[in-house]
Amino acid sequence: MKKNNSFRYIISLIIVLSLIWIGNSGYFNGLLLSLGAVSVAFVVFMAYRLDIVDEESQPLQVSRRIVVYWLWLLKTLIQSNVTVVKRIWQGPKSINPVVARIPTSQKTEMGQTIYANSITLTPGTTTLDIEGDTLIVYALSYDGIQYLLGGEMDRRVKRLEE
C-alpha cells in the first residue's frame, strides 16, 4: 500500500471509530473521552501495523453514498416486514419457499457482500451462497425472488461501488 494514500484511510478510520465510540458511550466527560481516544489510537495503530487499512477496509467511495442507500434499505425492510406478517396471518398456504439463482452486476467482492447482506437483512429472503456472479437466494415466496430479479437492489448496490 502506498503510504501517502494510506493517510486518507487512517484519518477515515479514526473518524469512524471515534463516532462509534461517542455514539455508543453517550458520555462526554474527560475520562471517557480520553479512554476513547486511547482505544481508537490503539486500534488504528494495530490496523496500520497489520497493514489492513486500505480501500477495502475503509471504502471512502461508499461512505459518501451509504446514507442514501441505508434510508432506501430501511424503507425496503419495513415493506418486507409487512409482507411477511401478512403471509403469516394468511396461513401456511401463502408461504411457498423458493431457492433461486440471482445474477449480480457488482464488480468487487465488497459490492457482492453488501448485496448479499442486504438480501439477508430483508425479511423473507436469505442469501445462501455466492458463486461467481450469482447469488443463491432462499425466499418465502416467488414474489421475493421476482423482486430481486427486477434488479432495483442490485442497481442501488452497484451505485455504491462507483
Provide DSSP, the chain: --HHHHHHHHHHHHHHHHHHHHHHH----HHHHHHHHHHHHHHHHHHHHTT--STTTS-HHHHTTHHHHHHHHHHHHHHHHHHHHHHHHH-GGG---EEEEEE----SHHHHHHHHHHHHHSTTEEEEEEETTEEEEEESSHHHHHHHHHTHHHHHHHHHH-
For residue 61, what are the contacts with CB-CB under 8 A and spacing of at least 6? 55, 160, 161, 162
Q: What is the pLDDT of residues 43-73, one digit of tens each?
A: 989 988 888 777 665 555 556 778 888 899 9
What pLDDT does residue 59 have? 57
How far apart CA 128 and CA 107 sit, in angstroms, is 20
- Scored b (16 or more CB within 10 A) or e, 80-105 reads beebbeebeeeeeeeeeeeebebebe
Mean pLDDT of the chain: 87
Q: What is the pLDDT of residues 118-149, one digit of tens each?
A: 999 999 999 999 999 999 999 999 999 999 99
59, 36 contact by CB (below 8 A): no
145, 46 contact by CB (below 8 A): no
Q: Which residue has better confidence, 13 or 127? A: 127
For residue 108, what are the contacts with CB-CB under 8 A and spacing of at least 6? 161
Specify the range with the lowest mean pLDDT, choosing from 9-13, 21-25, 45-49: 9-13
What pLDDT does residue 1 have? 44
pTM for this structure?
0.70
How far apart CA 53 and CA 37 sit, in angstroms, is 18
